[in-house]
Amino acid sequence: MRINLRNMHDNQAGTIASVKVAGELGRRLRDMGLVPGTEIKIQGRAPLYDPVALRVMGATLTLRNNEADYIEVEVE
Amino acid sequence: MAPTVALAGNPNSGKTTLFNELTGSRQHVGNYPGVTVEKKEGTYVRIHDGFRLHIVDLPGTYSLTAYSLEEVVTRDFLVNQKPEVVINIVDASNLERNLYLAIQFLEMGIPICIALNMIDVAKKRGIKVNAQKLSFLLGVPVTPTVARSGKGKKELMDSASQIAREPHQLTPLKISYGADIDPVLSEMEKEIADRHFLTDTYQARWIALKYLESDQQIISKGQKVNPDLSSRLKEMVRKVSHHLLNTLDTYPEAMIADQRYGYIKSILKQGVIHHKYDRNRLYSSDRIDKVVTNRFLGPLIMLAVIAGLYHFTFTYSGLPVGWLENFFDWLGSTLSAALPEGMLKSLIVSGIIDGVGGVLGFVPLIMFMFFGIAILEDSGYLARVAFMLDRIFRIFGLHGSSVMAFIVSGGIAGGCAVPGVMATRTLKSPRERLATLLTVPFMNCGAKLPVFALLIATFFAKYEAAIMFLITLGAWAGALLVAKLLRVTVIKGAATPFVMELPPYRMPTFKGLAIHTWERTWQYIKKAGTVILGLSIVLWAMMTFPGLPESKIREFETLRQAETSRVPFAIAAELEAEQEGAELSGPASSLKEKLQRIDAAEAEAGLRNSIAGRIGGALETVSKWAGFDWRTNIALVGGFAAKEVVVSTLGTAYSLGEVNPEETGSLSETLARDPGWSPLLAVGLIVFTMFYSPCFVSVICISRESGSWKWGVFAMAFNTVLAFVLAVLIFQIGSAFGLLVN
């Protein structure tokens, strides 16, 4: 099943299916390894539920929810 | 000249630690030409043969695109300065993503050697990396290192020296970017090579690649050199983009990045890396985060940490600040006794020593503050603070990391805007950073407190705590709203992506902390010290010249003589021969008091007649809208030097002689009696003091940190206008409704 990263719940894991954004944000996401095929796991959210922290290739990254919107994830 | 070695790598890869380890104290910090990105350089000396290498620490980057200033600086340095070798530091525990940068160096054809850093951390996490295999597959030397302990340093520098000594052209790495891009890329490469388009600085294939990645820096360079060819290349890119969007729903730059990661994966799969555990397993760092960024505990812990930082800085710096103050007092009084009465003495004591002393007095405070921030930064906690607070600060067009600067500047009353402005260096997003550094001076720094204390004690003694709390809230509200205003007007622009790494918690090394603290402190002393000397002299001159006319001075002298002649000679002689600390008889001390009153009146007249006094008088025509008279005006002009000067200048203007900002009893009584003063005026003055121009040390720091005097001038003008409008509104509305008029 394919869902938006924003809608994933804590500790849910999945594989990035697509990252649909160009420009600076797109580049930043790719620089951090957020490309199709990468496995991610939601590690938690900030006290105000935004930004979100995820586990990618053994490191922890943070994204704002409106940035996570561009990422589709294939989950079980 | 010694060969140049550049250190490059991702943020948090241990690059700075390695730099410190290699160069020790033989380093200095500057800026890259025209930008505020720090440039660290140093010398590495090999112990056994004295072989020297010039080491440049490049800014930490994840990639070599041209989006951030750090990336542009890194790329320009590599292309223009052509270092003999680049040491690419990669985090062994996070190899896959770190190699993304390494691949880009190889694509550029830059001679690199890889430091496989934090190999100990990787091992602990059950990650085994085969350095030899990696070296073989990438075709560059790979040395396992532990920067914190210096392990592998010698081997790393040996392989770097070898490359530096035997320069050889590296063939740029050619990766396949897929069936859609490859043919276009070759075609573009051929066109570029045939026409020698930018090829004296870059490789043809790399230029083509940058066109495909729509790299603005390279495209605009190309546009200048050969607009025809540049347009043709752009057209080719447009076609392939169109095709990719239609068939695969992707962009060329995304495709290229995917293929780079694919290439890295294919290398790692050939037995380079072996994971003993699941990669997403939680480590101790994550367990700490479960508590530290917890929905309920997180904010509480953050408050405690911030309060701790505050307490640490302002309590422990008190002692050395006191020593420095005593030293400058001692210097002032010694010189004052040694120099003959006159202009020179006044210039040296009141102008230079008070001015420069005032600036240097901040140094211990700044050192403590930077030390505290360095601990939070190096340990990784600062990134968590940004993570937790981003949602709130984003509303105002700022970034989660802005909070530190606000707190340091006096977010809890009593900070200082100077280290606050400098603390914005931890912010990596340029627009958010500028908005932060322009608004931090609104916070209630320690120097504004005596002004508030005086006015509150005089007019609102009963509500002291409540008013102080309101002032703090007002400062925050003002700063955040102005930040928002700036972000939708002069610093317009979309939010910089927040995408950020939460580095694992690490114990900071003392060496790292010490170097961090010292280099920032030294920059403050050097840059602020020189400009401030000049400005102190100007301000002193404004409050001294042209002085009183001869006739006036004689008038005061006659008054003094009249007082003295009114008492028996013995009493005057007793006063004349007064010893420091000795008891005076009743009549003698009453004579002394009378004489001091005359001196104070003379000082008042002198100040009224000085340039500053005349400016204050001239400003009355405008300032009367807010209810400020010439005395308040001069005090506020003086407050530009340092806010606490407002109190001492008010003292002089009210003929009280020098008023110690800590003991304002008599000034308070004078203001309470003065019919020109009312609680309403006091509120207006408090608000004005909160928001008007930052003191000049802050203005200098703002100019320096923003990279332009324009912003320093903007802060002075904008803040003063804003403060004045608020003060006028308070005074006029209050007067109209008869509020707080007594």
The CA distance from A63 to A54, in Å, is 8
Q: Is the dihedral of CA B537, B538, B541, B543 positive or negative?
A: negative
User: ipTM score of the complex?
Assistant: 0.95
* Rounded Cα gap, residues B602 and B599, in angstroms: 5
Among A46, A30, A65, CA closest to B294: A46
Nearest CA among B470, B476, B359, B471 for reference residue B407: B476
Most B-contacting residue of A8, A32, A65 (CB-CB within 10 A), to test interface: A32
- Contact between chains at A62 and B249 (C-beta distance less than 8 A): no
In three-state secondary structure terms, B273 is strand
Euclidean distance between CA atoms B598 and B555, whole angstroms:
10
Rounded to 5°, angle at Cα B727 from B723 and B732: 150
B301 contact residues in A (CB cutoff 8 A): none
Spans in chain B with pLDDT lower than 50: none
Residues 254-273 of B with CB under 8 A from A: 254, 257-258, 261
A51-66 confidence digits (pLDDT tens): 999 999 888 999 999 9
| Domain formed by A2-74, architecture | Roll (2.30)
Low pLDDT (below 50) residues in chain A = none
Instruction: Provide the angle, in degrees to the nearest 10, between the axes of the packed helices B252-269 and B227-247.
Output: 70
Asked if B500 has any chain A CB less than 8 Å from its own CB, the reply is yes
Query: With an 8 Å Cβ cutoff, are B293 and A30 in contact?
Result: no
Q: Which residues of A touch B391 (CB under 8 A)?
A: 46, 48-51
Write out residues 382-441 of B within 8 Å (CB-CB) of A. Answer: 387-388, 390-392, 394
The rounded distance, in Å, linking the Cα atoms of B639 and B447 is 9
Q: Supply B599's token pair.
A: 């001196």
Taking CB atoms and an 8 Å cutoff, what residues of chain B touch A61? 499-502
> Do the strands B142-144 and B112-117 form a parallel or antiparallel pair, or are they unpaired?
parallel
Cβ-based neighbours of B735, under 8 Å, separated by 6 or more: B627, B680, B741
B97 Cα to chain A: minimum distance (Å) = 6
Which of A22, A24, A33 minimises the CB distance to B251? A22
Nearest Cβ partner for A41 among B65, B258, B280: B280
Provide CB contacts within 8 A for B513, sequence distance 6+: B371, B374, B375, B378
Interval B211-246: pLDDT, tens: 999 998 999 999 999 999 999 999 999 999 999 999
DSSP string of B48-72, one letter each residue: TT--EEEEEEPPP-S--SSSSHHHH
Cα B205 to its chain centre, rounded Å, is 40
Which residues of chain B lie closer than 8 angstroms to A41, CB-CB?
280
Q: How much is the pLDDT for B664?
A: 62
What is the Cα–Cα distance from B64 to A31, expressed in whole angstroms? 9
Give bridge partners of residue A53 from the DSSP assignment: A44, A62
3-state secondary structure of A3: strand
Q: Report which of B218, B206, B207 is spatially closest to residue B171, judged by C-alpha positions.
A: B206
- CB nearest A27 (choices: B67, B96, B392): B67
Choose among B102, B84, B219: nearest CA to B161.
B84
B30: helix, strand or coil: strand
DSSP B306-346: HHHHHHHHHHHTHHHHHHHHHHHHHHHHHHHHHSPSSHHHH
Q: Please, are residues A33 and A55 in contact by the beta-carbon 8 Å criterion?
A: no
Residues of A with CB under 8 A from a CB of B: 13, 18-20, 22, 24-33, 35-39, 41, 43-44, 46-51, 53, 55-64, 67
Contacts of B385 in chain A (CB under 8 A): none
Beta partners for residue B27, in sequence order: B42
Tokens of B112: 């690199």
Kindly state whether B65 is in contact with chain A, defined as any CB-CB distance less than 8 angstroms: yes
pLDDT digits (tens, 9 = 90+) for B25-48: 777 777 676 666 778 899 999 888
Do the Cβ atoms of B499 and A30 come within 8 Å? no
**B286 at the A interface (CB within 8 A)?**
yes
At A41 the three-state DSSP class reads strand
Write the pLDDT tens digit of every residue in B278-321.
Answer: 766 777 888 899 899 999 999 999 888 878 877 787 678 778 87
Q: Does domain B181-275 have CATH number 3.30.1490?
A: no
DSSP, res B661: T
What distance in Å separates the CA atoms of residue B20 and residue B511, rounded to the nearest whole number? Answer: 8
- Partner-chain contact B254 A35, CB within 8 Å: yes
Could you give phi then psi for residue B129, rounded to 5 degrees? -115, 130
Tokens of B734: 């209050």
Across the interface, do B299 and A47 touch by the CB < 8 Å criterion? yes
Do B483 and B439 touch, CB atoms closer than 8 A?
Answer: yes
Sheet holding B4-9, edge to edge: B27-31, B38-45, B52-57, B4-9, B85-91, B112-117, B142-144
What pLDDT, on a 0 to 100 scale, did the predictor assign at position B528? 59
Interchain pair B97, A59: CB under 8 A: yes
Kind and range of the H or E run holding B648: helix B645-653
8 Å CB contact of B257 and A56: no
Chain A environment of B388 (Cβ under 8 Å): 46-47
**Is B280 within 8 Å of A58 when comparing Cβ atoms?**
yes
Asked if B241 is an interface residue toward chain A (Cβ–Cβ < 8 A), one would say: no
Q: Take residue B475 and report the two structure tokens written for it.
A: 């400062």
Q: Report cis status (omega within 30 of 0) of the bond before B183.
A: no
The alpha carbon of residue B244 is apart from the nearest alpha carbon of chain A, in Å, by: 13
Residue B503: DSSP 8-state: P
Q: Token pair of A12, please?
A: 């849910």
pLDDT the model gives residue B241: 94
Cβ-based contacts of A52 with chain B (< 8 Å): none
Angstrom distances, CA of residue B81 to CA of B54, B62, B76, B77, B706: 12, 21, 8, 5, 26
Domain B4-165: CATH superfamily, name plus number: P-loop containing nucleotide triphosphate hydrolases (3.40.50.300)
Bond from prior residue into B568 cis (ω within 30 degrees of 0):
no
pLDDT at position B656: 62
Beta strand segments in B216-279, E: 273-275
Cα(B166)–Cα(B400) distance, integer angstroms: 47
* Among A47, A60, A67, beta carbon nearest to B497: A67
Residue in this structure with the two tokens 């380093």, named with its chain if needed: B27
CA distance B96 to B665: 67
Chain A residues touching B97 at Cβ < 8 A: 32-33, 56-57, 59
What's the pLDDT at B234? 95
Strands lying side by side in the sheet with A39-45 = A2-4, A71-74, A13-19, A39-45, A52-56, A59-63, B500-502
CA of B300 vs chain A CAs: smallest distance (Å): 11
Q: Which of B97, B259, B303, B505 to probe by mutation at the A interface, max A CB count within 10 Å?
A: B97
Torsion of CA B408, B412, B414, B415, to 10 degrees: 0
Contact of A71 with A34, CB cutoff 8 Å = yes
- The closest CB to that of A26, out of B254, B280, B496, belongs to B254
pTM: 0.81
Domain boundaries, chain B: 4-165, 181-275, 548-609
Whether B278 has its CB under 8 Å from any CB of chain A: the answer is no
Structure tokens at B615: 């400016």
Q: Does B125 lie at the interface with A, CB-CB under 8 angstroms? A: yes
Q: Measuring CA to CA, which residue among B491, B443, B487, B480 is closest to residue B691?
A: B443
- Closest partner residue to A64 (CB to CB) among B62, B294, B390 is B390
Mutate to test the interface with A, among B499, B500, B501 (most CBs of A within 10 A): B499
Give the count of Cβ contacts less than 8 A between chain A and B.
Answer: 126
Q: For B585, which DSSP code?
A: P
CB contact under 8 A, B387 and A50: no
pLDDT at B597: 81
| Residues 6 or more apart whose Cβ sits within 8 Å of residue A76 | A1, A14
Q: Which whole-number Å values give the CA distances from B703 to B438, B441, B640, B689, B698, in the listed order? A: 10, 13, 16, 21, 9
**Among B48, B42, B4, B21, which residue's Cα sits nearest to residue B165?**
B4
Q: Are B115 and B36 in contact (CB under 8 A)?
A: no
